[in-house]
Amino acid sequence: MNDRIPALCGLTVVELVRLLDRGEVSSTEITRAYLNCIRERDLQIHAFLEVFEEEALAGAAMADQRRAEKRTLSALDGIPVAIKDNMVMKGHLCSCASKMLADFRSPYTSTVVAKLQAAGMPILGRLNMDEFAMGSSTENSAMGVTRNPWNLEYVPGGSSGGSAAAVAAGMTPVALGSDTGGSIRQPASFCGVVGVKPAYGTVSRYGLVAFASSLDQIGPLCKTAADAALVMNVIAGYDAHDATSDGALQANFTTDIKKGSAPLFGLCFGLPKECFGQGLQEEVKDALLHAAQRLKALGAEVKEVSVPSLPYALSAYYVISSAEASSNLARFDGVRYGYRAKEYADLDELYRKSRQEAFGMEVKRRVMLGTFALSSGYQDQYYLKAQQVRELLRYDVAQALTDCAALLSPVAPTPAYRLGEKTADPMEMYLGDIYTVPANITGLPAVSLPCGLSSSGLPIGMSLMGARDSLPTLMGAAACYEQSEKVNAGLHPYDFTEGSERK
């Protein structure tokens, strides 16, 4: 075995916790192993924008000390984690992968990072993303692209591409991402890991740089559903700093995972027939139908349902998210913080040049689209219409969920595509979000988990979306599925037992 990339990097959180609990390994050894893996692999993959080596090792040493004194802070005390670069941490840079915030150091810590710290989890570093979380491939990062660990010529998905690639390559056991229209779930599916978008209001958005405030949610990316449920227990909870935080959603997300035998008995999964339209690649469809069969074999019922307004979700999403983005990003004006143009004649030019020089193409496109959709005369036609579609979709999804525990659908119409393949055509890129945006528009929780490999050896994901309080059920179903399914579960793009050679 290559001792530079130890087998520890291939383990799940559950396995690492077991080793820690038995005293067979220390948090320092685990953290060192992941730091070594980052050093070895990230030159090729570029998932990290910054590694907090010393701080992570200091955190691990403290975790070891606590464990020795039998005063651990949580079930995950000593388990390292990495964060998408749009969650602030006091004294650290937070760039949102934008030239606008390249030198921005945060004066405070986001609630979600404070929760990781309070749970004793060493933070390994900041992860690459599409600029301001706008995109589906991480190619919109001003800091360079991230590559898919399964095949370096392919995109890792986005916008949390750094988070997904880091977990898939064994560079961290846990990453946090943010999901406004699929940015946790789609990269998770492109990289063959599990991604969770909690119900709106479950995880505090305080200290998450806003993209579209009515849609944004933070969630975990991990190797398995059981791991993600453990992380949810750490990061969820009411926060007075976030006016949309929902105390009623506090729950134990691992309850249904511990149920053991046949937890799918009596559960019904609905396959929306609108998901099988144009654009869905045959291989993805086959993998999904195979997954449906497997769920049935596990005791679940699967039936066709209808969500008539689903085909309009994407248009509504791009109007609403761009409208909110144009308002949220107005704060980056070159005056208060962030990038400032070097030369300007007057205040007007300061605003204009700062934004022009520091925002990338995609961010500018969203700001223009959003400003247009909100401008007088067009507001009724676009923004209000989109809000009506949002309401209709909420109703239709609720109807479909009346006698189903969850809706089963693809995560994306295709597996990962080649770097550069869709950058010239933003519409083409937007169409890939068709299956993920409904969960954000309706505020419902959804889980993305691997369900197969394409003929070119790239992961394919499936999505489970349920009612507002259904996340523990979804996590239980996902865990049950992945434990039973041999096609992909436990498969990594690297063979950790053989060392660092790519397969």
Find tokens 């953290």 and name the residue: 31
CB 386 within 8 A of CB 319: yes
Q: Which two tokens stand for residue 20?
A: 């820690």
Find tokens 């143009």 and name the residue: 341
Say which of 178, 183, 245, 322 is annotated catalytic: 183
224: contact with ligand GLN by CB under 6 A? no
Reply yes or no on whether 223 is catalytic.
no
Nearest residue (CB) to ligand GLN, 119 versus 134: 134
Q: Which of 10, 120, 122, 135 binds ligand GLN (CB under 6 A)?
A: 135
Reply yes or no on whether 26 is catalytic.
no
Nearest residue (CB) to ligand GLN, 133 versus 480: 133
459: contact with ligand GLN by CB under 6 A? no
Q: Which of 181, 263, 413, 445 binds ligand GLN (CB under 6 A)?
A: 181
Triad 252, 255, 259: Cα angle to 5°: 175
Q: Which of 80, 182, 207, 220 binds ligand GLN (CB under 6 A)?
A: 182
Torsion angle of the four alpha carbons 160, 164, 166, 172, in this order, in degrees rounded to the nearest 10? 110
CB 503 within 8 A of CB 438: no
CB 123 to ligand GLN: min, Å: 21
Residue 15, burial from CB neighbour count under 10 angstroms (0-12, 13-18, 19+): middle
Q: Which of 206, 211, 339, 383 binds ligand GLN (CB under 6 A)?
A: 211
Residue 304, burial from CB neighbour count under 10 angstroms (0-12, 13-18, 19+): exposed
CA gap 164, 185 in Å, rounded:
9
Buried-state track 374-389, b at ≥16 Cβ within 10 A, e below 16: beeeeeeebbebbbeb
CB 96 to ligand GLN: min, Å: 11
Nearest residue (CB) to ligand GLN, 111 versus 180: 180
Task: Please identify, among the stretches 175-183, 383-391, 471-479, 487-495, the one whose residues bind ligand GLN according to the rule CB under 6 A.
Answer: 175-183
80: contact with ligand GLN by CB under 6 A? no
CA 30 to each of CA 9, 59, 75: distance values in angstroms, whole numbers, following the listed order: 8, 12, 15
Task: Please identify, among the stretches 59-67, 178-186, 238-246, 382-390, the one whose residues bind ligand GLN according to the rule CB under 6 A.
Answer: 178-186
Task: Please identify, among the stretches 35-43, 181-189, 229-237, 413-421, the one whose residues bind ligand GLN according to the rule CB under 6 A.
Answer: 181-189
Nearest residue (CB) to ligand GLN, 134 versus 393: 134
CB 231 to ligand GLN: min, Å: 19
412: contact with ligand GLN by CB under 6 A? no
CB 258 to ligand GLN: min, Å: 31
- Is 301 strand, coil or helix? strand
433: contact with ligand GLN by CB under 6 A? yes
309: contact with ligand GLN by CB under 6 A? no
Find tokens 């027939």 and name the residue: 273
133: contact with ligand GLN by CB under 6 A? yes
Closest by CA position to 143, among listed 151, 152, 131: 131
Q: Which two tokens stand for residue 68?
A: 């020795």
CA gap 491, 39 in Å, rounded:
22
Closest by CA position to 193, among listed 440, 449, 493: 449
Reply yes or no on whether 183 is catalytic.
yes
CB 134 to ligand GLN: min, Å: 5
Nearest residue (CB) to ligand GLN, 132 versus 496: 132
Closest by CA position to 329, among listed 184, 215, 159, 212: 212
154: contact with ligand GLN by CB under 6 A? no
Q: Which of 27, 146, 159, 245 binds ligand GLN (CB under 6 A)?
A: 159
Nearest residue (CB) to ligand GLN, 421 versus 495: 421
Task: Please identify, among the stretches 30-38, 106-114, 127-135, 378-386, the one whose residues bind ligand GLN according to the rule CB under 6 A.
Answer: 127-135
Q: Which amino acid is at 175?
A: A
CA 451 to chain centroid = 17
324: contact with ligand GLN by CB under 6 A? no
Closest by CA position to 167, among listed 5, 29, 57, 11: 11
Could you list the residues that contact ligand GLN (CB under 6 A)? Answer: 133-136, 159, 179-183, 211, 321, 433
- Give the residue numbers annotated as catalytic, written as ranges: 84, 159, 183
